[in-house]
Amino acid sequence: MQRQISNYMYYLSVEKGLSKNTIESYRRDLKTFIALMKQRQVNTPDEVDREALSFFIADLKKKGRATATISRCIASIRSFFNYLLQEGLIDKNPTLELESPKLEKKLPRVLTSGEIDRLLAQPVLGDNNGQRDKAMLELLYASGIRISELVSLNISDFDPRVGFLRCSGKGMKERIVPIGSLAINSVNEYVVGSRSQLLKSNGETALFVNLQGNRMTRQGFWKIFKKYARKSKIQGEITPHTLRHSFATHLLENGADLRSVQEMLGHSDISTTQIYTQITRRKIKEIYDQAHPRA
């Protein structure tokens, strides 16, 4: 199965155009699956049956894996077997009758405007790192882009004259996102000042660079974000994706239409964007309950 999985990874990369992070997620899930199948002496896809799949799911539950993790593993395995069926390597897909565990739908965490202000005020602008960090945080909230999109930005993707940012999302789909004046000014100040001092090579195309003068990594930005989240003393856990959730919710709260927010977020399906309308409805109900004398 290992060789077929390698071919499948190539298929996901070249034909489906999925991102490296998504492909690695598939690879990890399938590696876990193969390891357990070997324990049961199941060595080929033809030998995988409902009993083997049930054993795999039971083992994940026994190890305390979250429902979302189990659901993702099932999706990875189902996709792999669909590929094998499509290529004529198996006669039937054993995962078709496999049910994914029901996920509890939780509304994403959204920061208030005051909390956003506190977070964005944390970087100290007196040094190169602070100016860069301020620009990254401002840009995340102003555009709603993902971390992977942020660190993938090139200097040519930012043009302060037009007020738009070009980024490549999932599946390498390119989109143009508007950004506000505060973010434009912050990024522009970083570009003309700190970036040139952080660079070690004129050939570096990345918009945001680290202390070594190379492209900022996801892990590098995570460490930076955690530091400022801790300093801001915002209650509860927040992640860079919290800024994306806050971006979408604040737009809808202030009158933006759902289709425009969908396009800015790069969602292929509007149902993914609709979760933010639930947040705004909940807030409206809270305001009503607090303000109406007979609520």
Q: Residue 212 — φ and ψ, nearest 5°? A: -85, 0
Catalytic (active site) residue 228 = no
Pick the catalytic residue from 83, 190, 228, 276: 276
Pick the catalytic residue from 170, 175, 218, 226: 170
Catalytic (active site) residue 233 = no
Q: Are strands 158-159 and 164-168 parallel, antiparallel or unpaired?
A: antiparallel
Buried-state track 276-294, b at ≥16 Cβ within 10 A, e below 16:
beebbeeeeeeeeeeeeee
Catalytic (active site) residue 244 = yes
Catalytic (active site) residue 285 = no
The CB density around residue 208, as the number of other CB atoms within 10 Å, is 25
Q: Measured between alpha carbons, how far is 26 from 5 in angstroms, rounded to an integer?
A: 10
Q: Measured between alpha carbons, how far is 167 from 79 in angstroms, rounded to an integer?
A: 27
Please calculate the CA angle 226-71-94 and round it to the nearest 5 degrees. Answer: 150
**Closest to 79 measured CA to CA, from 117, 131, 23, 143:** 23
Pick the catalytic residue from 72, 195, 244, 250: 244
CB 281 within 8 A of CB 266: no
Pick the catalytic residue from 241, 259, 282, 285: 241
Buried-state track 62-100, b at ≥16 Cβ within 10 A, e below 16:
eeebeeeebebbbebbbbbbebbbeeeebeebbbeebee
Pick the catalytic residue from 72, 134, 146, 245: 146
CB 118 within 8 A of CB 231: no
Q: Measured between alpha carbons, how far is 142 from 132 in angstroms, rounded to an integer?
A: 15
Catalytic (active site) residue 200 = no
Q: Which residues contact 265 (CB under 8 A, 6 or more apart)?
A: 144, 244, 248, 272, 273
Residues labelled as active-site residues: 146, 170, 241, 244, 267, 276
